[in-house]
Structure formats: C-alpha cells, structure tokens
Amino acid sequence: MSESTKNSSMNSDLHHPSAETVDAALIKDYETLYRRSITDREGFWAEEASKLDWFQKWDKVLDDSKKPFFKWFSGGKINIIQNAIDRHLKTWRRNKLAIIWEGEPGDVKTFSYHALNREVSKFANVLKSMGVKKGEIVTIYMPQIPELMFAMLACAKIGAAHSVVYGGFSVEALAARIEDAKSRVVVTADGGWRRGKINDLKSIANDAIKRSPTVEVCICVRRTGHDVYMENDRDFWYHDLMGLPIANPNCPTEVMDSEDMLFILYTSGTTGKPKGLLHTHGGYAVYTSTTHRYVFDIKDEDRWWCAADPGWITGHSYMVYSPLINGATLMMYEGAPNHPYPNRWWQIVEKYGINILYTSPTAIRGLMRFGEAWPKRHDLSSLRLLGSVGEPINPEAWRWYHRVIGQERCPIMDTWWQTETGGFMVTPLPITPLKPGSATKPFFGIEIGVVDEHGKEVKRGEEGKLVIKSPWPGMARTIYGDADRYVETYWKEYEKQGWYKAGDSARIDEDGYLWVIGRIDDVIKVSGYRLGTAEIESALITHPAVSEAAAIGLPHEVKGNAIHAYVILRSKFTPGKELEEELKEQVVKEIGPIARPEAITFMDVLPKTRSGKIMRRVLKARAQGLNEGDISTLEE
Ligand code: PRX
C-alpha cells in the first residue's frame, strides 16, 4: 500500500452500518460500556465470566501481584470443554449442528453437539489409554479435518495441553516444536488434500519423529488413503483405536484450575527458536467467547465460518473454541479457496447459508484477482457480517470485499490482535462506523497507546509503537519454558509503565481510530503468516553453499509481503539460477512452502553494524530505492 493511499483513506470514506444491523446488534452503545469496562475492569470481566459454567467460582478476578505474570480468575475451577461442549448437552443445543465440514474433494460430514461429544470423549479415552496425563503436551500435526478438532478438544477434556503445528510446516519446524514441548504423543494424518494433491504429512512427521527422542506414540488418521510408512509399536491408526473398547464414549471432563495450561502455540519472533505462547483454560475461555459474541454479534441461528487454519491462533480462538463456547454452528473446509475453481468459497457460502465469514486480506486479494464474475454466480444473501484478520487490509481489498462479497450490506470487522493476545484487541463492533483499513477502536477492557521509544504518547496522526496498557483475560501467560524471554520480549521496553509491547507500528487518527502499519521487529507477515527472519536465515545457512544470509520482507500485491533473501556464498560456489532455485527449495524443505523466498540475491558483503549485526533495514531501503536512514553505525 502506498503512503498516499494510506493517508487519503484515513479520514474520508466513512461507512455507517445499516439501521437493520444496528437494531440487531447485541451492543448498542460502545462508549458507555467501554468506559465502564475501563473504570471497573474487574467488574466487567467478572460479569462476562459469570456467563460461563464454572466447577467452582474464582476468588479473585485479577491477581497482579507477580507482574507481568498476571493471573485471571484465580481460585476458579473450570474446563473449557465444560463450556464448549458439556453445557450444551443439557439444552436443546444437544441436537444442534456444531460442525459442518467439507473436504476438498467434496465429501461432507456434520456433527451435532451430541455427536461431537461422542467423538471427543472416545478420543479422550484413547489418549488416556496411551498414558496421556494432565499437564502433558500432545503435538498435533494435521490437515483441516474434523479429527483435528477432536484431538484438540480431547486433550483439553482430560487436562492435557495441545501444541498444534500448522500442516504447512515442514520437517525442521515440526521437529523443533516437538522437541521444545517434549511431546510423547503426536497425532497426525496420512495427508490432506490441497489443490487436488496430497500434502504428505505422515512422511514429514516420520522424518521429524526420527529427530525427536521423546516421541513414543504416533496416532495417524487415514484421510487420503495413500501408502504411508507406519512404524511397528509406535504408530497406530486412529480408526483402529476408535474401534476398540478403550474408546469408550463416556469420559469425565477434568476439573482444571483457571490458570492451568490449555495449549501452547508456537509463533515466530526475533530469534531463530520459535516461542511457545502459553494460554490457559479460564481467562482464554472468557476472553475468546466474549470477543466473539460481541464483535460478531453471535446469534443461535448463525452459521459461522472462520476460514483460517486451526494451526494458527485465529483457528484456535475463532474456529474451534469461541464458536463452540457460544454454541454456534461452525463451518470447516479442508482445501484451497480456488479449487477446483475460484468460486469454491462462494459456493460454500451459498450451499450452507453462511451468515458470517471471517478471513484474511491475503485471501481476499487472492480471490479478487479472479474477478467479480465468480462470486456473482452465487447467492451470497445469507451473509450478514464479514471479518478480516492477519495484516492491515488495504482499502482496495476492503472495498471489494465490502461491495462484491458483502453487497454493501455487511459491515467488515477488521480485528487487530496476535497469538500473544488470545483474542481481538482492537476491532469494530457491528454498530461502529467503519473506515476502510482501520481496525477502529479497542475492545472492552483494553487500553492502547501509540508511543515513542520513551513511552511518550505521539501526536494524533503520527506514527509510533503500539502498546497495551493494562492486562486482559486472554493474554498469553508466558513463553513455555522460557519466562525470561517472555519478560524480555514483551515487557522490558516499557517496564516502568508496565505496558505490553505489541511489536507493531501504528497511528491513531483524530477520531481515535487505530491504523496498524506493520511489524517493527524482525517478523515478516507473508500471506498473513508470521515468519521470523532468523528462521529463514538459519534454513539458508544449513545449505553447504551459504556462508551468510539475510532475509527481509518487501511489499507484494497478494501476499502483503514477500521474502527476499540475500546470501554470501562460500568460496567454492558460484551464483546462478540453479543454485537460486536450490536455495529456495532448501527453505521450503526446512520450514515449509509459505517461507519460500520470492527472490535470492547473491552478495559479496552484507550491510552490518560495527558489532556485526546485519542491518536488514538498510537492505530493505535499498531494495525499495528509499533513503537508508541513519547509517552512522554501518561498517561497510
Ligand atoms: O502485525 C500485526 C498483524 O499480525 C500480527 C500478529 O500475528 P499473529 O500472532 O500471527 O496473529 C495473527 C492473527 C491474530 C500483529 O502483530 N495483524 C493481525 N491482525 C491485524 C494485523 N495488522 C493489521 N490489522 C489487523 N487486523
């Protein structure tokens, strides 16, 4: 997005919701409730928490005695499954559809809350029979199939934690995550369908498990039916286990402390080692369900589709947990949006009567390329609200989404948040007048600021660093196994003020609307996926030809950003097209296809500081023909 588009869109072009939308909205007055949620934060969250089922009520809403290690609802006993499944079984929702799933080849499965409970309970007993204990972390590496959800929910039910690794990740990324979580059990599948091809997850899992001495058991779902290697005494077919008497459909839901670990989810940061953000049963359940209900105005009759992958936080919070807690019917689709044709998503919206669609700017831009004729072939009149997440949505994509998909009837909820925040932080409500490209205003209980490096608020309209000034129930509690890194990464810079550093730059305009610009650390958002420059660089350096590497993100029309890598070769090697391809493949093999560099440039030297740090900022400026800024520390 160019600067001029950004600025010109900042204040003009206000989209007011229709009277019908406002009439139907759960929240009619944002300002009043927002003020109350700030002046009486604990009261606000206690009221929201009371909407959930607890085995035992909490003693304290917020315990800030060990800042920044905040605790929420301490003393409370809860299990997220008691809320996502068990409580619905006692009501008419027992027979309501919980999940509608469509595979890429067109196969369909549906599960009522009753059926979901059966599957989850059976698999929970299977996990128990494999010796899975409370507190243990099970790694899940699966395509978008219902068993992925069953596995996550079954872990939570018995008090084990899950670590879902995105199915697009490769051997190295998977092995590093299994190792960090010390998983004994891995749940995977023989593959998934993607654009008519099999994504061979089991082979990748086999290679990763070879490097992971902690793994004793691997459970494999048969999805595609192609031949895979199964190791005797270690690997078991999911359907075999689910057919045994151990897969009893009755399984008690474990009573957990509010602050007990629900899952860890790895995300990229500034160093090569991925960090496992830890989320808990109580606060996360309260936060995700509250944000989902108010922002998307969830009604019992709604069909909700979060077209994300469960391997990322969006999938965890808004595809699996919050829709189930809110008793919604959710849609899950296995494959690519443009397979076999670019109308696949619109066909799904029409076929199932989807009311709310939540997706990413990159998906919108990707589908926009195929033109309006594809969505126009379908009846999209069931849609009521739209959502966007993952990166700033450029006004052009916003307008297309609004006009062509939403038919100017559906407001777009542009939700800003992160793996670390657990749920929406800055977001419109259906009643909010919208400005294309702005995530608008903070959610209830959330206080934000845009500040300079000293923590001084910048002037309205000026760019600064985005901070969050007070705790919220959905916040990650720590980085698994590395509390120091948690403090260092998020809380050190504004220690005096006690603020959370988001790692994004942003502006707040004169109406108080937030405009997120992008990451200011060494994180690149490629198609909304979060990748660390260090991960890409270390993947490149594992190739024998490479002595040094630097990776940066440069603007890309569809992906938002694309990876550009700069490498210095070892003396025996010469630059060339073939080697360039080989290096790109190396990154795919190590991390996954999403990390494939767009271009590789061979260099003799890299711009470095005198202390030897690569100045990626300088590479970026040069590549874009921009001013290099302050280069007084440049050694070159
Ligand atoms: O840079 C922001 C961008 O995505 C980052 C968080 O990435 P991740 O932890 O992978 O979570 C993505 C899904 C919640 C943020 O620091 N980001 C996310 N949503 C938006 C966004 N940038 C602008 N607008 C958004 N709506």
**How large is the greatest C-alpha to C-alpha distance in the chain, in angstroms?**
71
Q: What pLDDT digit, counting tens, does each position of 530-541 carry? A: 999 999 999 999
Predicted confidence band of residue 53 (pLDDT cuts 50, 70, 90): very high
Parallel/antiparallel/unpaired status of strands 464-468 and 500-508: antiparallel
Per-residue pLDDT tens digits for 139-156: 999 999 999 999 999 999
Give 77 Cα–ligand 1 centroid separation in angstroms: 31
If you measure from the C-alpha of residue 206 to the centroid of ligand 1, how many angstroms do you get, rounded to a whole number? 32
Pocket test for ligand 1, best of 287, 417, 432, 441 (most atoms within 8 A of CB): 417
Considering only CA atoms, which residue is closest to atom 22 of ligand 1?
A: 391
**Interior CA angle at 288 toward 282 and 290, to 5°?**
100
CA of 176 to the centre of ligand 1 (A): 23
Would you say residue 465 has pLDDT above 90? Answer: yes
d(CA 38, ligand 1 centre) in Å: 24
The type of residue at 443 is F
Q: What is the number of the ligand 1 atom nearest to the C-alpha of 417?
A: 14
**What local confidence, expressed as pLDDT, does residue 268 receive?**
86
Name the residue with the closest Cα to ligand 1, atom 4: 390
Helix extents (H) in 524-574: 533-541
Q: What is the pLDDT of residues 181-211, one digit of tens each?
A: 999 999 999 999 999 999 999 999 999 999 9
**pLDDT above 70 as % of the chain:** 97
Distance 390 CA to ligand 1 centre (A): 4
Residue whose CA is closest, atom 7 of ligand 1? 418
Q: Choose the residue to mutate in 292, 501, 516 for probing ligand 1, maximizing ligand atoms within 8 Å of C-beta.
A: 516
Neighbours of 466 (CB within 10 A): 25
- pLDDT of 476 > 70? The answer is yes
Ligand 1 atom with the smallest distance to the CA of 415 is: 26
Whole-angstrom CA distances from 636 to 93, 148, 564, 624, 632 are 67, 50, 20, 19, 11
The proportion of the chain whose per-residue pLDDT surpasses 90, expressed as a percent, equals: 92
pLDDT tens digits for range 216-259: 999 999 999 999 999 999 999 999 999 999 999 999 999 999 99
Q: How far apart are CA 306 and CA 86, in angstroms?
A: 22
Q: Which of 8-12, 42-46, 183-187, 301-305 has the lowest mean pLDDT?
A: 8-12
- 414 CA: nearest ligand 1 atom: 26
Q: For residue 132, give the 3-state DSSP assignment.
A: coil
CA distance 160 to 469: 32
CA distance 192 to 103: 9
User: Is residue 340 reached through a cis peptide bond, with omega within 30 degrees of 0 on the bond before it?
Assistant: yes
Which residue's alpha carbon is at the smallest distance from atom 3 of ligand 1?
Answer: 391
How far apart CA 398 and CA 438 sit, in angstroms, is 10
Q: What is the pLDDT of residue 11?
A: 52
389 alpha carbon – ligand 1 mean position (Å): 6
Ligand 1 centre and the CA of 73: distance in Å? Answer: 27
Pocket of ligand 1 (CB under 6 A): 267, 313-314, 388-392, 414-419, 439, 502-504, 516, 518-519, 525, 530
CA–CA gap between residue 43 and residue 47 (Å, rounded): 6
Point out the ligand 1 atom lying closest to the alpha carbon of residue 519: 1
Distance between CA atoms of 76 and 46, rounded to whole angstroms? 12
d(CA 55, CA 215): 33
Residues in the chain: 636
Atom of ligand 1 nearest to the CA of 503: 16
Q: What is the distance in A from the centroid of ligand 1 to the CA of 439?
A: 11
Q: Whose CA is nearest to atom 10 of ligand 1?
A: 530
